[in-house]
Amino acid sequence: MFVFSADLSQVLLCFHRKAQFWVQVGGHIEEGDIAVADAALREAREETGLTSIHLLRHGPVDVHRHSLAAAFGACRVHRDVGFAAVADPSEPLVVSKESENLGWFSVDALPAPTPGDFTERLSIARGELLRSRPIS
């Protein structure tokens, strides 16, 4: 889940405990999740403690397949379906057991390290959101 500030200038990232890099929050579909978007929203709330978070749209803004390191156990391939949400950056964050840290970052000044293609994926997702916003 790509969680942005309302103006899309900041993104919320977690420092993933197993992967040891900064990345968007996310998780897995669980029994009881009615839709993939609902699972993404639930996971984002669980991993950040944010109550102000809400989806910008019900369709994904990113679909990504990648290999996983040995730290992830028997699972060697992961498929991300990325949704976009907004939240209030002033709301306190709660770090979950999946992460070592959480933080808001300017989309133009991401922390290191991130996955090799993360900046491009974030830029494409954000660009799609910016293009779909009504002109005011």
Average confidence (pLDDT) over 29-50: 94
**Which string of b and e fits 2-16 if b means at least 16 CB within 10 Å?**
bbbbeebebbbbbbb
pLDDT of residue 6: 96
Average confidence (pLDDT) over 86-108: 96
Q: Tell me how many domains the chain contains.
A: 1
Check whether 129 has a pLDDT greater than 60. Answer: yes
Lowest mean pLDDT among 16-20, 91-95, 121-125, 131-135: 131-135
Q: Which domain holds residue 44?
A: 2-132
Q: Is the pLDDT higher at 27 or at 31?
A: 31
Whole-prediction pTM value?
A: 0.88
CATH number at residue 122: 3.90.79.10
Share of the chain above pLDDT 90, in %: 72
Contact criterion met (CB below 8 Å) for 57 and 84: yes
Beta-carbon contacts of 91 under 8 Å, excluding residues fewer than 6 positions away, are 50, 51, 52
